[in-house]
Structure 1
Amino acid sequence: MGGGDRSGTLIGRAAELAALTGALDRAAAGAAGVVLVSGDAGVGKSHLVGALTRIARDRGCTVLAGQCAELGESMPYLPLADALWTGSADPALRAALDDRPVLRRLLPDGGGDGVPAGDLGQQRLFGAVLGLLGELGRDRPVLLVLEDLHWADRSTRHLLTFLSRVLQRERVCLVGTYRSDDLHRRHPLRPVVAELLRLPEVGAVELGPFGHGETAEYLASLGGDGAPPTAEEINRVHRRSEGNPFYAAELYTAARTDEELPAGLADLLLARVERLSENAARVVRAASVAGHRVDDEPVRQVCGLDEAAAGEALREIVSHRLLIPDGAQGYTFRHALLREAVYADLLPGERTRLHAAYADLLKRAPAVPGRVAAELAHHSLAAHDLPAAFAASVQAGREAERMGAPDEAHEHYDRALSLWDAVPGPEEAAGTGRVQLELAAVRSSGRSGEPRRAISRLRRLLEEADPADVRMGVLLREHLAYYLDDVKQHDESMAVSREAIAMLPADPPTAERASALATYVRTMLFEEVDPSLRAVAEEAVAAARAAGAADAEASALVSLGIYRETREPDPEVGALFARARDLAVGAGNYQVGQRAAFHLARSIFDRGDLPAAVRAADDGVAFSLANGLGWSPYGSTLRCLQFLIHYTSGDWEEAGRLAADFPMQVVRPAEAQVSSYALFLEVARGEDITERFRWLEPVWPEDDFIAYVARGLAAEHALWQGDTAAALDHATAAQAVLPAQDVAAVRVIATALWAHADRAVQARASGDNGTAASAVEAADNLLERARATVATTPDGRTRAWLGLEGHAWLARAEAEHARAHGANDPALWRKTLEAFSYGFTYELARTRWRLAESLAAQGSREEALNEWRTAAQEAESLGAAPLVRALTDLGARARLTAQQPEPAAGGLTAREREVLKLVAEGRNNKEIAAALFISPKTASVHVSNILAKLDVTSRTQAAAKAHADGLLTG
C-alpha cells in the first residue's frame, strides 16, 4: 500500500515515477532499458510500479508482470512464468508463446516440445525470452516487471543479468524491484545488483522514507470521509513509522480504532489478524503457508471449510484488506511482511500440519509440468515427510533440467542425495540408483558453469565406486577427464582419459570407451600436435560407430578434421565437419553440432573461399539463433566468425549491422569475446574505441584470447594515431598472452613490425641512429619469431592450418621488416598484395598504400599513382577514415594528389555534404542518422571522412570551414 492512497494516487514519488516513465519513453523510441527499484520493505515499491503499469497500459503497451516467492531457490523462473501466465490471455502473447515451446512449457498448461533441455537448455530459454520480447516490441512497447527480486531463484537472476546486457534496440523496458534492507552481505542478489548497475542501460530508483509533510499527506489520504489526522497523530505516526508508508498506515489505522498498539511490527500486523473471525484467521494462516499467491479451492481444502464458509471468510479477509484479489480466483497478501508475520506466528505443529495438507493436495492434483514437483518438495520437507520430499526433489530436478535450469536442478538433486540414507527404498522412489543420481547432479553442475563442483563430486564418486563395476568406472573417469579439460587441467585430463580407455577392451565396442576416446582426443588438441592423435581419433570414430554413440563419433570426427588440417591442406576436411555436424544435431547434441559448424565455416574461410564461408557462417549462426543458442559458447564464436568473414570480404555494411548487436557494456568473457571483434571495424573506421576498451580491459585477466584480440587491435589504433610507444606496449602484451609458437601471433607480430618500422624511419630522418638501430634489432627478433611460429610442426614443416590469411600476415611481416631496415622493397609488398588477393579488401587497400609509398620512393611515379588511386577508391568505399588520411598524406608528400580526378565540391560526396549540413546545425550522429534514414554507425563513418577530407579535427572546425568555403550552399 505504501506510497499512495487507496485510489492509486502517488504521494511524494514524482521524481521516481518520472524516472520510470522516462525509461518507458526511451524504450518506446527503440532504446531498451532496465530500472532497478529498491527500498525497504513497505516503502512503496509495488505501489510505484503499479502506477507505472497503469500508465503503460493507458499508452497501449504490453505489460507483463511477475512476482518472486519466498521459496528459496527451488522454483526456477517463477516470476517469468507468473508474468507469462497472467498475460497469456493476450492473443499476441499466446501466439508468440506457441512459437516457442521452451517458454510455453513454463505455463501450467504448456506441456513442452518433448526435447530434453540438455547442456544448452538455459541458453535456449534465454534466447527464446529475448526473441519473445523483441517480437512483442515490434508491435507495441513492452513493460516487463519482475517484483521481489530479493527472493529470486538463481536462474531468474541469470535471466535478469542476461536481459540487462543484451537488450539494446528492442522496445522493451524491464523494471525489477527488491528490498534493499534484505540484501545482507552474502545475499545472492547483492553482487548481481552491483554488476548490473555498472551498465549504462541500467538505471536505479531508490525509494526512501517519507518526509514529515509526505506522511501527513499520506495519512490524510487514508482518512476517507472521517476527520483528518491531527498534528499530534501525524507527529506520533511519523516518528513511530520513521517515514515508512506501510508502517505508517498500520500505526494510523490502529490508533484510529483505539486499539492498544503492539511493541513490534509483527505484533502490529498480527493485531489486525487477531480481529478476524475464527474461520477467517484459519484461512489467513493457511494462506501464509501457501506462498505469495493463493487460490480459492486449495486454501478451502487445506482449511477444511465448506465452500460457503470459506467464501464468507475470504470476504471478511478482503474487507480488512489483508488479502487482495489477484486474478479470477486468486489472492495475494496486502504486503509480504504481513504473510511473513503470520507464518512466523504459527505454532510448530500447526505449521507442519498445514505444509502436510498442501503436500497431500499436491499429490492428488493433476500433474503440472514445472511447478508441482518443486512445491511438493518444499511442503513435504517442511512437513517432515522425508520420503515424499525425496521423491519430489528427484522429480523437481528432472523438471528443472527439462526447463533449462541447471542451478535449480543441482539443488534438487543435492537435496535428494542428502535424504538418500534417510528414506526407505530410495532406488524405487527415485527410479534410479544413487550413482546415476549423483551423475545427474554432476551434469547439472557442469551445465550451470561450475565444472569444479562437478570435479569434486566425481572424485568422491570414484573413491566410493565399486571396483568390480568397470563400465561405471570408465564412465566416471570420462566425465572427470571432460571437466578437467574444461578447467584447463589438460595433463590430468589426459592421464584420467588414458586410465579410462585402458579399463575396457576394444571388443566388444562400448559407448563408454568410445566417449573416453573422444574426450582424450579433444584434450590432445590442446597440446603440441602428437603424431599418434590421428590413430587415436580414428579409433574413437570406429569405436563410437560400432557402439552406436553418434555424439561421440561426431566429437571425434571434429577432432580428426582439426588434426588433418595441421598436416596438409585438405579440401575434404569440410565434408568431415559437415558430417560431424549432422551426426551431432541428429543425436540432439547441439553443442558438438555447433563446434562442427564453426570448424566447417572456419576451414572454408582459411582456404579463402569467402562466398562459401559467408554461407557456412550464416547457416551456423541461423541454426544457433533459431534454437536460442546465440550466446552459447560456440554460438558466440560463430557470430564472431560471421562478422569477421563479412569484414574481410569488404561488406562493411553487413559487418556493421552485425557489430551493432555486439554489446558494448560487458563484464564476463562470453560477452567480451563478441564485443572485442567489433574493434576490427571500429579501428579500421577510425572510431573512438575508448568506451569499448574500458569495458574489455577488466576481462583480460580471465581470458587470454580476448586480451590478444583487443590489445592487438588497440596497437593498430595507436599506430593510426602516430603513437608507436603505445602500439608496442599493446602488441607486446598481446604476444605475451599467447602460448609459445601460437600461429595467432603472426598478425600481432606484423603490427609490432609496423611500429618498429615507423620508429626506424622517423629516427633515421632525424639522425637518431641509436633509436634506429634499436628498432632494427627488435624487428629482427620479431621476424625470427614469426618465421618460427609458422614452421613448428614436429618435423619442422610449415603448419597447414595457418590458412591464406596467416601466410598473408607473414608476407606483411617480411615487408615491414625490410622497411625497418630502410629497404622498402616493392617486390615484398607485391608479394603481400598477392597473398591478400583471395579477397581481403581492406588489407589489399592497406598493402597498396605501402606499395605506392615504396614505388614513389624509387621514382616509379606512374605505378605509384595507379596503386595510390586504387587504394584511395577502396578506402573511400569502405569508409576506412584512418587509411584515407594516410593516403591523403602520402599523396601530398609524393605529389600524387595533383593528378587526381577533380572530386565533388570540397572533396565531399553529395551524401557527405548532406551530413555536413546537419553537423553544422549541431546534430549528433544519432540525429543525423534519423534525418537521413541511415544507421548511427554509418553517420559516424561519414563524419570521420568529412573531418579527414577537410583536414580538421573537430565537428566545430568542420562546420566553421564549411561556412567559410561555401560548402553548405546548393
Structure 2
Amino acid sequence: MLETAGDGTAGVALVGGDAGIGKTRLTCELVAQARERGFNVMIGQCAELGDALPYLPLADALRGADPTLRAAIAERPVLEQLLPGGESAPSSGLTQQRLFGSLLGLLAAVQPVLFVIEDLHWADRSTRDLLVFLSRMLQSERVCLVGTYRTDDLHRRHPLRSVLAELKRLPAVTAVDVGPMPSAEISDYVATFGDMDRRELSEIVSRADGNPFYAEELYAALSEGETLPDGLASLLMSRVEVLSEPGQRVLRAAAVAGRRVEDVLLRDVSGLPLADFEEAVREIVSRGLLRVDGYGYAFRHALLQEAVYTDLLPGERTRLHATFATRLTAPAELAHHHLAGHDLSGALTASAEAGRQAERLGAPAEAHRHYDQALSLWDRVPEAESLAGEGRAELALRSAIMAADSGDNHRAVNQLRALPQTSQVHERLAYYLAELGQDDAAVEAGEAAVETAQTPAELARALATSARALAWTDRHAEVAPRARRALEVARSAGVPDAEKGALISLALLSELDGDFSTAAARYEQATSRTSGILAMDLRAEFARARLLYEQGDLVEAASATDSGIRLAEENGLNWSTYGTDLRFLRFLIHYVAGEWDDAERVAGTFGARVGTVPEAILSSFALFVEVGRGLPAVGPRIDWLRPFWSNDLVTYMARGLAAEDALWKGDPTAAWEHVRACLSQLIPADPANLRICAVGLWALAELGRTDEADDLRERARTAVAGPDGKRGPMGLEGRAWALRVEAEWVRVQGRHDVALWQKVVEAFDYGFVYETARVRWRLAEAQLATGDRESAQATWILARDAADNLKAVPLASALEEFARRARFLTASTDGSLTARELEVLRLVADGLTNREIAERLYIAQKTVSVHVSNILGKLDASTRTQAAATARSRGLLTDQPA
C-alpha cells in the first residue's frame, strides 16, 4: 500500500485484531519503511478519554509533526488551533468542514504521507467522521492512511462497527485482520527474547495462545523468577505488585490519568516528594511498565493501564479522579474526572465549557454531547445557571444547533420544539424543517419567528428565513414582499447575513421572472461584502457564478467561480456543498469554453472510485470530457457508477454520456437503452430532458427508426414549456438544446433542413465550442445533401479544426469519415497543406486581403498572416499571386466530384 501511495494512488488500511496481537508492532514496521521511502509520517493515538476530547489523535499527530509539517500546519489556522497554546478563532460557520478540508489540503501539500491513527475503538464521533471523510476523499494523493482497532472491544452496539462496515465497502479501503501467530512462529518469536530451557519455552508458547504481547509478559514474569498466574490481567498485576509501595502509588495515579500523563501532573497527583517520585518512576520505567513519552510517560500497552485501573478500589479511584480534577485545565478532561469523582457541580461547569470548546474546534457531535451532559445535571446542582455561564434555554439552543451541525436535523427539531418558543428558536426550527423538506411546518415556524421577534436583528433573520421557506411552497407571491422587508430591516440593523439571504431570495425571484439584469445586480450586491457566515457567502458566490454561466457570459462566470473557489480553499471548504458545486461549475465552464485540458485537470480531482451518491455525482462530471475525447477511463468509470444509476442526477449524466459513448462506438441499440433508462427517471417537465431527447433522436436516426421520435420531440417541448406551461425564459444552453431536438427530429425523418441546423449552430455559438462543432458536422451533412458543396466543406473545416483543438477524437474520426465519403479535398497532393491552409489559399486566390480573410473565417489577422507564410513556403512561392497560380496548376482549387 505504501508503494501504490507513493505512485499516486491513495490507500486506506484498517488493521483489526485482539488486544496485544501485534497491531502496533505491524504499524511500527510500516512507519519505519515509510520513513526509509521519504514519507512524512503522522501518528496519532486515541485514548479512553477520546469520547470527551475531540480530534485527540489528530491533535496528537500534529503535535508530533516534524519541522516540514509544522511549517505547513502554520499556514492553516484551523489546524493550528488544535496544538497546545493554539487559540480558537471566532466561528464563521462550517467549522468542522473547514477543519476537514484544511487537513486534506495539508496532506496534499506535504505528500507523500503516512498517517496512522491508533486505537480507533476509543475514537470520538468527530474523529470517526474525519476517518470516513479522508477514506472517501483521498484518491490520487500520495497518502496512506492506517487505522488500528481492537476487535475484542467492539461490542454489538459499538459506534465504530457501523463505520467499519461502511468503510470496508469502499474501493480504496483494505481490511487487515491480524490473528494469533501460529505456534511455530510464536515459538521462534519467543526464542529471540533470551535464554530459556525447552520446558519454559513450551509453557510460554502454550500459555500465550498466539498473542505476542502476552508472550512478552509471560517471559518477563518468568525471567524475574515469578510464577505464572492464570489470565493476562493476573499476570500483569503480578508484575505490578513487585514494585515498591511508592512505585505502585505512582502507577495507580498514572492509570487514572489514562494511557499517557505529563510528568508534572503525575508528580502532583501522586503526592510524593520529588526525590521519592523520581525514584519510583525510575523503577517503573526500568521494569518496562511505563516508557518515557515526550514530557511525560505512557503505559507500554493499553492492557496494562486497564489492568491497573480496574484493580483500584472504588474510593481510591474516586479520590484520584477528584485530585486530577483540581489540577487540570482542559474542560473535557475536567468533566471526565469530575464525573468519575462524583463532583456534579464541577462536572456541569466543565461540561458546559467543554461543549463551547468543542464547538469552537469544529466538533459539533462532541459539543452536543457535552451540552446534553450539562443539561442532564442541571436539576441536580444548585445555582446551575451561574456554574454553566448561561441559562438553561440558551444552553439547550446551543445543543440543538450542534445536533443539526453534526447532521442530526431530526434531533435538533425535537430539541427546539421542547424549548421556550422565542424568535430565535422559531427561526432555527424553520431553517431545519426546510432542510428536511417539511415546507408547511417550516413556513409556520418562520411566521412565528417573525411574530415573536424582539429585536431588529431577530426580525431581520426571521424575515429572511421565512422568505426562503415560502419560496418552495405555493405561496410564492409572498416571497418578494417578505424578502424586501428583510432586506430593509437587515440593513438598518446591521445584520449582514440576513441582508445577504434576502438579496439571494430576491435575485432568484428575478431569475424566475426572466429579469436577468436585476438578478445579476442583486447577486453582485450579495457578493460584494462578507456576512460572517461562510455558508451564506459561498451560496451567494455560487448563485452569481451560475447565473453568469447560464447567460453565456463565460469570461465573467469563470472569474466569479474562481473567486468562490478561492474563498472555499482559503477556509478549507473545497469539499463543502457549495465548495464542491463551485468546482463542478468551474469544470463546466472549462468544458463549454473548449478548455478541455483544464477541464480534464479539474476532473482528475473528482475520482473514479466511488462509494456514495455524492461521490458518484462528482465522478459523473468527468465523463463529459472523457467521452468527448474517447479516453480509456470511460469504461472503468461507468462500471464504478453503475450501482448508483438509481439516482436521477447520476443517471442523467452517467447514462446520458454512456449513450453518447455507445453512439461513438457504433452501438445505437445500447445507446437507446441508456436513453430510455434516463427518461424513465426524469419528470417530463425537467429541462434535463432536452439533452437526453437529442441523444435519443441521434440513436433513432442511426437505427433507422421513426416510431418513437414524435414522443421524444413532444417530451422536449413539455420540458421547454414547464410543468404548468408557464416556465420562465430558459438559459442559452437550454434554448440551444431545444432547437437541437427539433433539428434531430427532422434528421430522423430523413430530411435535411439547412436553415434549422444553421439556427442550432448560432444558438450554441455563444461560446459552447464542442456542441457548436458537433452541430456543424450535421449542418455540413445537410449542406452537402442539398448540393451546396462549397459551404459544406467550409463548415466541415470549422468543425474539424475545433475537434482537433479539443482532441475530441470520436468527433474528429466521424468528421474524417464524412470528408472521405464526401471526397472533400483535405490536403495537397504531397500532403503538405492542412485543411485550414487550403481554406485560406482559396480566399487568397479570390484576391482577399489578410484582414478580409480574418473577418470571413472569424480568426485573428495575425493568424491569417501565419497561414499565408506557411502556404508560400510549402508551395515554394514568393508572392500571393504565384501561390494562387501554383495551386491552380496542381488542381488544389478545383472541387473533386462527389
CA distance in 2 between counterparts of 1:712 and 1:517 reads 41
- 1:343 is matched with 309
Asked whether the equivalents of residues 690 and 716 of structure 2 are also in contact (C-alpha less than 8 Å), the reply is: yes
Q: Is it true that 1:46 corresponds to 2:24 in the alignment?
A: yes
The answer on whether the counterparts of 2:13 and 2:176 sit within 8 Å (CA) in structure 1 is yes
- Alignment correspondent of 2:882: none
Which of 95, 119, 122 is the matching residue for 2:93?
A: 119
Amino acid paired to 1:496:
A
In the TM superposition, 1:59-98 aligns within 5 A as: 59-87=37-65, 90-98=66-74
Q: What per-residue deviation string (whole Å, max 9, x for no partner) do you get for residues 311-339 of structure 1?
A: 11111111111111112x31111111111
Q: After superposition, what is the alpha-carbon deviation per residue over 1:143-199, rounded to whole angstroms, capped at 9, x for unaligned?
A: 222111121112112222222233344343322222233233432223333333334
Q: 1:854 aligns to what?
A: 782
Once superposed, what is the RMSD of the aligned Cα atoms? 2.5
Seen in structure 2, the aligned counterparts of structure 1 residues 279 and 485 have a Cα distance that, compared at 3 Å, is same
From 325, 344, 350, the equivalent of 2:292 is 325
Gaps of 5+ in 1: 1-22, 366-371, 466-471, 764-771, 909-970
Cα shift readout 1:640-660 (whole Å, capped 9, x = no counterpart): 001000110000011111111
Alignment partner of 1:799 is 2:728:
yes
Distance 1:61 1:570, change over 3 A: closer
After the TM superposition, which residues 728-767 of structure 1 pair with which residues of structure 2 at under 5 Å, given as runs? 728-738=672-682, 741-759=685-703, 762-763=704-705
Amino acid at match of 1:691: P
Q: Are residues 72 and 627 of structure 1, via their aligned partners in 2, closer, same or farther at CA, if it must alter by over 3 Å?
A: closer
**SS of alignment partner, residue 210 of structure 1:** coil
1:269 positional shift: 1.2
Which residue in 1 is equivalent to 2:618? Answer: 674
Q: Measure, in 2, the Cα distance between the counterparts of 1:318 and 1:719.
A: 72
8 Å Cα contact 2:496-2:532 kept in structure 1: no
Residue 610 of structure 1 deviates from its aligned partner by 1.1
In structure 2, the gaps of 5 or more residues are: 836-898
For residue 388 of structure 1, what is the amino acid of its counterpart? G
Q: Which residue does 1:135 correspond to in 2?
A: 109
CA distance in 2, matches of 1:561, 1:383: 57
* Residues 440 and 473, structure 2, Cα contact 8 Å, conserved in 1: no
Aligned residue number for residue 358 of structure 1: 324
Partner of 2:561: 617
User: Does 1:388 pair with 2:349?
Assistant: no
Report the counterpart of residue 177 of structure 2 in structure 1. 206
TM-score (norm. length: structure 1): 0.82
Separation in structure 2 between the aligned mates of residue 651 and residue 903 of structure 1, nearest angstrom: 33
Aligned counterpart, 1:375:
333
Deviations 1:195-232 (A, max 9, x none): 33334433343322222222122212211xxx3341x3
* Closer/same/farther in 2, CA of residues 866 and 131 from structure 1, 3 Å limit: same
* 1:221 equivalent in alignment to 2:192: yes
SS of structure 1 residue aligned to 2:247: helix
Tell me by how many angstroms 1:80 deviates. Answer: 0.9
Mark the CA change 1:191 to 1:781 in structure 2 (over 3 Å): closer, same or farther.
same
2:810 is the alignment partner of 1:882: yes
Asked whether the equivalents of residues 633 and 670 of structure 1 are also in contact (C-alpha less than 8 Å), the reply is: no
* Structure 2 residue 255 is the aligned partner of structure 1 residue 300: no
Aligned to 1:437: 395
What are the residue-to-residue correspondences of 1:839-918 with 2, within 5 Å?
Answer: 839-896=767-824, 899-900=826-827
User: 8 Å contact 1:66–1:81 — kept in the other structure?
Assistant: yes
1:527 CA drift (Å):
4.5
Matched, 1:789 2:719: yes
Aligned partner of 1:103 in structure 2 is 79
Judge conservation of contact 1:662–1:675 (CA < 8 Å) in 2. Answer: yes
Q: Where does residue 406 of structure 2 map in the other structure?
A: 448
Q: Is the 8 A contact 2:513 2:728 kept in 1?
A: yes
Pair 884,525 (structure 1): closer, same or farther in 2 beyond 3 Å = farther
- Give 1:387 deviation, angstroms: 1.1
Q: What is the CA-CA distance between 1:72 and the residue it aligns to?
A: 4.6
SS at match of 2:790: helix
Aligned residue among 131, 152, 159 for 1:181: 152
Q: Is 1:408 paired with 2:366?
A: yes
Cα distance change, pair 428–901 in 1 and its aligned pair in 2 (3 A): farther
- Listed as ranges, the matches of 1:282-681 within 5 Å are 282-327=249-294, 329-362=295-328, 365=329, 372-461=330-419, 465=420, 472-503=421-452, 510-527=456-473, 530-583=476-529, 585=530, 587-681=531-625
Displacement of 1:757 in angstroms is 3.6
AA at the equivalent of 1:283: V
- Report the CA distance between 1:797 and its aligned residue: 5.0
Q: Determine which structure has more spread, i.e. the larger CA radius of gyration.
A: 2
| Structure-2 separation of matches of 1:99 and 1:785 | 53
Does 2:134 correspond to 1:163?
yes
Partner secondary structure for residue 790 of structure 1? helix
CA contact (8 A) 1:64 1:83 kept: yes
Structure 1 counterpart of 2:770, one-letter code: Y
TM-score by length of structure 2 reads 0.88
- Are the aligned partners of 1:509 and 1:546 in contact in 2 as well (CA < 8 Å)? no
Contact 2:290–2:299 (Cα < 8 Å) also in 1: yes
Secondary structure at 1:275's aligned position in 2? coil
Distance 2:509 2:400 in 1: 30
> C-alpha distance in 1, partners of 2:101/2:422?
37
CA shift, 1:823, in A, is: 2.5
Q: Find the residue that maps to 1:512 and give its secondary structure.
A: helix
Per the TM alignment, residue 59 of structure 1 is displaced from its structure 2 partner at its CA by 4.7
- Equivalent of 1:195, from 151, 157, 166? 166
- d(CA) in 2 for partners of 1:628, 1:797: 41
Query: Residue type of the partner of 2:470?
Result: M
Task: Look up the SS of the partner of 2:19 in the other structure.
Answer: coil
Distance 1:175 1:517, change over 3 A: same
CA contact (8 A) 1:219 1:229 kept: no
Output the amino acid matched with 1:564.
S
Distance 1:784-1:405 versus aligned 2 partners, 3 A rule: same
Aligned to 2:124: 153
Q: Say if 2:752 and 2:786, in contact at 8 Å, map to a contact too.
A: no
**Residues 491-523 of structure 1: CA deviation (Å, up to 9, x unaligned):** 33223323433455xxx8633332232223223
Going from structure 1 to structure 2, the CA distance change for 1:846 and 1:526 (only over 3 Å counts) comes to farther
How many residues align structurally?
834
Helix, strand or coil for the counterpart of 1:531? Answer: helix
- 1:301 and 1:205 map into 2 onto residues whose CA distance is 42
Give the whole-Å Cα distance in 2 for the aligned partners of 1:124 and 1:394.
Answer: 23
Residues 608 and 619, structure 2, Cα contact 8 Å, conserved in 1:
yes
Task: Report % sequence identity.
Answer: 51
Conserved? CA contact 1:66–1:146, under 8 Å: yes
The letter for the 1-side match of 2:444 is A
Query: Could you tell me which of 140, 143, 152 is aligned with 1:172?
Result: 143
Contact 1:664–1:695 at 8 Å: present in 2 too?
A: yes
Answer whether contact 1:529 1:793 (CA < 8 A) is retained: no
Larger CA deviation: 632-641 vs 726-735: 726-735
Deviates more, 1:733-742 or 1:182-191: 733-742
User: C-alpha displacement at 1:418, in angstroms?
Assistant: 1.3
> 1:784-839, CA deviations, whole angstroms, 9 ceiling, x for partnerless residues?
23223333487x55522x21111111111111122223333122211110000111
Query: Alpha-carbon deviations, 1:389-440, whole Å to 9, x = none?
Result: 1111111111111111111111111111111111111211122121211111
